[in-house]
Amino acid sequence: MFIGVLKETYPNEKRVSLVPAEVQKLTEKGVEILVERGAGERAGFSDEDYAQAGAKIVERDEVFEKSEVILKVRGLLADRENFLEEADKYAGKVLIGFLEPFSVEEIIDRVRELKLTAFAMELIPRITRAQSMDALSSMATVAGYKAVLIASNMLPKMFPMLMTAAGTVLPAKVFVVGAGVAGLQAIATAKRLGAVVQAYDIRPAAKEQVLSLGAKFVELGLESEQAEDRGGYARAMDEEFYRRQREMMKEVVAESDVVITTAMVPGKRAPVLITEEMVKGMRPGSVIVDLAAERGGNCELTSPGEVVERYGVKIVGAVNLPSEVPYDASQMYSRNIFNFLNLLIRDGELHIDLEDEIVRETLLLREGELVSERIKQLVGG
């Protein structure tokens, strides 16, 4: 059995889907690993590292030609233009990676022609047994950490309180909206840097997690058990709910030096939580880091991939932050991929066992047909 590791083609993507440590583990299971020349260089892993781990370094066409399974960080609709350009090379293959599954209907005819089988890492179920494969959480951890570093670099203040001969420097105030994995990591990082941290989440269960990190939980009285679906993912609320939420957060946002927003709903536009009026009320020099920028943004003024300044406030449209920490992000993602492959590989061969909940829920396409019940429900298919 041959597994191929491709060099990422998405603009500015520095991660790699499999690092040498996992290459060695897979070769020990009787699998041959083909790595495209230079695939890991931007993440800090040389071709020599891969060769020493047991991989064969080849050109891109040979990866496609010989591999039964193709591993990517961003594939299919997550790298749409490049995927469509190389689509014929994926014929009959098994693709594993971040695939933007919620938009797959847009190219369903093309993948049907290719008889492509695809596993979307975004669909890993939120169950205990799948935690070691949860790539969304791994990458959210990196994004939450990096968001705070970006904010601290842009803020014209220091984060910690300092007692100096020149007087006392007051700590920065950080407000984190959304206490999922990215939000909790942002809280922990901001606390380590010495900031005074507040956080809010509409899920009541998040309060205990926020408090455990030493942050203050902002009580708005809007917390709802309905904010999370059975799979552990965020659920969209109605516009009236978000309107009330914005009104009640207005004062907290105004008194914050840094606001980090992380609210996203799978397959939908990110809810607008910070309006232009709220930005106007912030102090000049304040910073907003919008981790939902790729989904439209939680801030009304966010421009994805750009830093804009409005009313003296810098608004960071953060996109693909894990790629800015590619060495560790690649290692985390690689472990997620390896643990998932352990469910698919038996005696050196691929077996797709639909009795296994993790395999069944993560399978997006089987020989070109959309089989994910979760995605079919969302697209009405």
Q: Which pLDDT score, from 0 to 100, does residue 381 have?
A: 47
Same domain, 159 and 80: no
Q: Which pLDDT score, from 0 to 100, does residue 247 have?
A: 83
Domain boundary among 289, 319, 349: 319
Catalytic residue among 60, 126, 235, 244: 126
**Stretch (H or E) spanning 338:** helix 326-344
Q: Which pLDDT score, from 0 to 100, does residue 274 have?
A: 94
> Is 233 labeled as catalytic in the residue annotation?
yes
Domain boundary among 274, 295, 319: 319
Q: How many Å apart are CA 77 and CA 85, to the nearest integer?
A: 12
Catalytic residue among 52, 131, 212, 224: 131
Same domain, 165 and 63: no
Average pLDDT, the chain: 93
Task: Kindly indicate the confidence band of residue 241, based on its pLDDT and cuts at 50, 70 and 90.
Answer: confident
Q: Which pLDDT score, from 0 to 100, does residue 246 have?
A: 79
**pLDDT higher than threshold 80 for residue 233:** no
Task: Kindly indicate the confidence band of residue 236, based on its pLDDT and cuts at 50, 70 and 90.
Answer: low
Same domain, 289 and 331: no
The tens digit of pLDDT for each residue in 42-66 reads 999 999 999 999 999 999 999 999 9
Query: Cα–chain-centroid distance for residue 114?
Result: 27
Domain that residue 334 falls in: 2-133+326-379
Same domain, 361 and 227: no
Q: Which pLDDT score, from 0 to 100, does residue 380 have?
A: 60
Catalytic residue among 134, 201, 257, 290: 134
**pLDDT higher than threshold 70 for residue 235:** no
The tens digit of pLDDT for each residue in 268-318 reads 889 999 999 999 999 999 999 999 999 999 999 999 999 999 999 999 999
| Helices (H), ranges, 78-217 | 80-85, 108-114, 135-154, 181-192, 206-212
26-30, 239-243, 320-324, 361-365: segment of lowest average pLDDT = 239-243
Catalytic residue among 137, 185, 323, 330: 137
Same domain, 269 and 357: no
- Split into its structural domains, the chain has a count of 2
Same domain, 286 and 345: no
The tens digit of pLDDT for each residue in 130-157 reads 999 999 999 999 999 999 999 999 999 9
The pTM is what? 0.92
Same domain, 339 and 301: no
Catalytic residue among 50, 145, 233, 333: 233
Same domain, 15 and 61: yes
Same domain, 157 and 277: yes
- Using CA atoms, how far residue 39 sits from 27, 78, 291, in Å, is 18, 18, 27
Same domain, 22 and 102: yes
> Is 311 labeled as catalytic in the residue annotation?
no
Same domain, 145 and 203: yes
**pLDDT higher than threshold 50 for residue 71:** yes
| CA pseudo-torsion sign 290, 284, 175, 242 | negative
Domain boundary among 276, 294, 319: 319
Same domain, 173 and 56: no
> Is 137 labeled as catalytic in the residue annotation?
yes
> Is 79 labeled as catalytic in the residue annotation?
no
Q: How many Å apart are CA 232 and CA 217, to the nearest integer?
A: 21
CATH code for position 364: 3.40.50.720
**pLDDT higher than threshold 70 for residue 234:** no
Task: Kindly indicate the confidence band of residue 202, based on its pLDDT and cuts at 50, 70 and 90.
Answer: confident
> Is 200 labeled as catalytic in the residue annotation?
no
